[in-house]
Amino acid sequence: MDSSNRFGQGWRDKIRGGRLVTTFTILGTLSACVLAGSMLTGRVSAKQAAVDSSDAKPLQVPNPVTLSNGFSAIAKQVGPAVVNINTEILPKESATPGQQEGPTGRNPRGQNPEGGQGDQGMQDFFNHFFGGQPGGGQEETGPSRALGSGFIVDPRGYIITNNHVIDKADRIYVKLSTDSEDSTDPGRLATVVGVDKETDIAVIKIKSDTPLPTVKLGNSDSAQVGDWVLAIGEPFGLSETVSAGIISARNRSIDEGGDANGVAKNEFQKFIQTDAAINPGNSGGPLVDMQGEVIGMNTAIFTQSAGNEGIGFAMPSNVIIGVYNQLIAPEHKVVRGSIGIQFQPATSSAVAREYGFSNGGVMVGEVVPGGPAAKAGIQPRDVIVSVDGKQIKNGDELIAIVSMKHPGSTVSLGVLRGGKQITIACGIADRSKLYENQGKAEDDSNEPGPADAGQSKFGITVQAVPQQLQSRLHIAGGVTVTSVKPGSFADSIQLGQGAVIVEINRKPVTDIASYNAIASSLKSGDDVVFVIRIPQRPGGGDSFVGGTLP
């Protein structure tokens, strides 16, 4: 046994010894290769260093040439009239001692609907307005500052910019392209001539002993999708920055919803859309066509990163010109005409077919009590198809025509009523005064009710409308939508929970029985139009949703 163990131990010692020898052999070989490589590398480097370069020809800076795209010529032409605007908003004392309100009274989402948020950035509806720098929402202990752009339109110092750039500012400073770049010099003090929040346009003025350079305004109606444009401004405070792109859409609306009465907040804002790079600080700067003419003012961007993502919006120059001319007038304000109606901005083709205005027109949803339309006899469900003999296709065209009318004047409306066209003379009122007393309404909660028979066809359940809600909405009867099945017909036409149905296909819905009777009579392929009321908007009148039943 002992001899056997000694024999095995000897073999193991030999194997271990063999492994060690092999290991040392490999390491030695690698070391030799590394050393050889280093020597070869040194020889190559030395050989390169010894090359004779006396025959190499030195490079020369070529003479400047003028490129053919014209961008540089336009930038030189327009650039001197583009200005930097910086504002100061002083801290405001709050009612609680020892605390201060933010510079603009920010809402809980950290957004300021009117701009002017200074270092906290500027946002409006779903997109970021430009100006200011993104921040963390900390309380301000000193003046809050914001940056923007503008452009000179009159050599006497009149400048156009965005209202949100200067809104709530205590001091407004302007720097020209020729002014000092010293950061300690804020620039020339400016005064506000007038503002129009509806279009987010403002006019300010600076003093100058000599005539100032100006831009040339063009006709924005001539701008076409695909045209080259330049955006000029002061993004992030970087002066005289130019970016190029194309017009990617026209007459673009940014859906901001309506107020408590259903009146759209941005019905006068129809933008030129561009993919030219626009960033914080570009707000108020010009959008220029290839003729060197300003066809828009950079106003908003759609972004998820607070920077450029290729979709920017510019207020058309034709709108700017109209607003500017009113703001420099003695009253320094914009007056818009109104006939005193409210309507649903967009309706489905099924609604148009059912009510007979497939070729265009605007269905009246509500008539403002005491307004011109009410006095002229305009009624809900009337369809306005023309103004002073000019056919209108939609609400945008109606607003564009009527808003330009002077309060106190009269227009002739072509109206469809019960399938017949009539002509009605209607007065024009001051829009701001007409709607200033429209109140806010709050929603009422409803008690649960019985299920309805229309669930299989529409995908909704309904209940009777409480008497209190009927009185508040000025209706008799109706049913309230209590639930909507995802993917159903109601879901596809955006008939939402809480809506009060008062009619289906012109048949009044007075209770659940009448609702069930109408629902039972409908079949696949029928156009179905619901007339609804929204409890949150008791003054908003009827809304129409519809589609073709699958």
- Distance CA(509)–CA(461), nearest Å, equals 14
For residue 140, pLDDT over 60 is answered with no
Mean pLDDT of 470-495: 89
pLDDT for the residue 439: 43
pLDDT for the residue 69: 66
Which runs of E-coded beta strand occur in 52-96? Answer: 82-89, 92-93
Beta strands 293-301 and 216-217 are: parallel
**284, 294 in Cβ contact below 8 A?**
no
Comparison of pLDDT for 118 and 507, the residue scoring more:
507
For residue 239, pLDDT over 60 is answered with yes
16 Cβ contact list (under 8 Å, min separation 6): none
Do 71-327 and 337-435 show the same overall fold? Answer: no
Residue 28 bridge partners (DSSP): none
200 is catalytic: yes
pLDDT for the residue 82: 94
Q: Which CATH architecture has domain 337-435?
A: Roll (2.30)
pLDDT-above-70 percentage for the chain: 73
Where do the structural domains in the chain lie, given as residue ranges?
71-327, 337-435, 455-548
- Distance CA(176)–CA(488), nearest Å, equals 59
Helix H, strand E, coil C: the string for 126-179 is: CEEECCCCCCCCCCCCCCEEEEEEEEEEECCCEEEEEHHHHCCCCEEEEECCCC
116 Cβ contact list (under 8 Å, min separation 6): 87, 89, 103, 104, 122, 131, 132, 146, 164, 165, 166, 167, 168, 169
Mean pLDDT of 485-504: 91
For the domain made up of 455-548, the CATH class stated in words is mainly beta
pLDDT for the residue 29: 57
For residue 247, pLDDT over 90 is answered with yes
User: Is this model's pTM higher than 0.75 or not?
Assistant: no
Question: Is 223 in a helix, a strand, or coil?
Answer: coil
Of the listed ranges 54-63, 416-425, 444-453, the one predicted with least confidence: 444-453
For residue 398, pLDDT over 50 is answered with yes
**227, 246 in Cβ contact below 8 A?**
yes
Active-site residue (options: 119, 167, 200, 275): 200
Encode pLDDT of 344-374 as tens digits: 877 888 888 888 888 889 999 889 888 999 9
Active-site residue (options: 119, 128, 149, 164): 164
For residue 36, pLDDT over 70 is answered with no
386 is catalytic: no
Encode pLDDT of 275-328 as tens digits: 888 877 788 999 999 999 999 999 887 766 666 677 889 999 999 999 999 999
182 is catalytic: no
Active-site residue (options: 283, 317, 348, 386): 283
pLDDT for the residue 329: 93
Q: Which CATH architecture has domain 71-327?
A: Beta Barrel (2.40)
Give residue for tokens 């009159």.
154
